[in-house]
Amino acid sequence: MARWQPGAAERMRGAALDLFVERGYDATTAADIAAAAGLTERTFYRHFTDKREVLFWGSDEFEASFLDPIDALPPDAPAMTVVVAAVVGGAGRFTPERRDFATLRAGIVDATPPLRERERDKMARLASLVAQRLIGRGVPATDAQLAAHSGVTVFTTAFARWVAGDARSPEALCADLFDDLARLTGQLNSRTETV
């Protein structure tokens, strides 16, 4: 077996998802995942700390797809413009050929408490990174928190619809959900105007 395996992490990710679906998360070991991918357990542990991490492989690229578009914006862009650019950038990563994997993955993550917790951790970290970028652009901390978390809510809601079979692309879903959010929070305005 080759010492360096191109695509080893990606293969183990696919194998882990299949095993989690077939046998359940608890009944699957790191050794099972490595074997199903034609790799050794040692190779598994060169890539991942434990089996929970396998479905979170690629998180640097995931985060970069949200953060890179921010850097392309002018320094005085409004906070929500920054958030829309980040969220639409992140959504753009999820091309049609990724939907089958994403749908299976979402099903097993939603049904498995340790994976669900890890997924929330991933999204909380994303919100925090976006908020930090906003703060770095001079947005007050509270606005940065509200704007970043609103963007992550739009993303996760759009993503859930996409894996549930909505025909729109993730970007189109996010654009529509930002419109929905603006309409909903517009209901706050009558209150706001009397303050």
Residues in touch with its own copies (CB under 8 A): 78-81, 84, 117, 120-121, 124, 142-143, 145-147, 149-150, 153-154, 157, 160-161, 175, 177-189, 191-192, 195
Instruction: Give me the least distance between CB of 176 and its own copies, in Å please.
Output: 9
Instruction: Give me the least distance between CB of 41 and its own copies, in Å please.
Output: 25
End-to-end CA distance of the chain, in Å?
Answer: 70
Instruction: Give me the least distance between CB of 106 and its own copies, in Å please.
Output: 15
Looking at the Cβ atoms of 9 and 79, the one nearer to its own copies is: 79
Instruction: Give me the least distance between CB of 74 and its own copies, in Å please.
Output: 14
Looking at the Cβ atoms of 103 and 185, the one nearer to its own copies is: 185
Q: Residues near 45 by Cβ (< 8 Å), separated by ≥ 6?
A: 30
Looking at the Cβ atoms of 37 and 177, the one nearer to its own copies is: 177
Looking at the Cβ atoms of 31 and 182, the one nearer to its own copies is: 182
Amino acid letter for position 132: Q
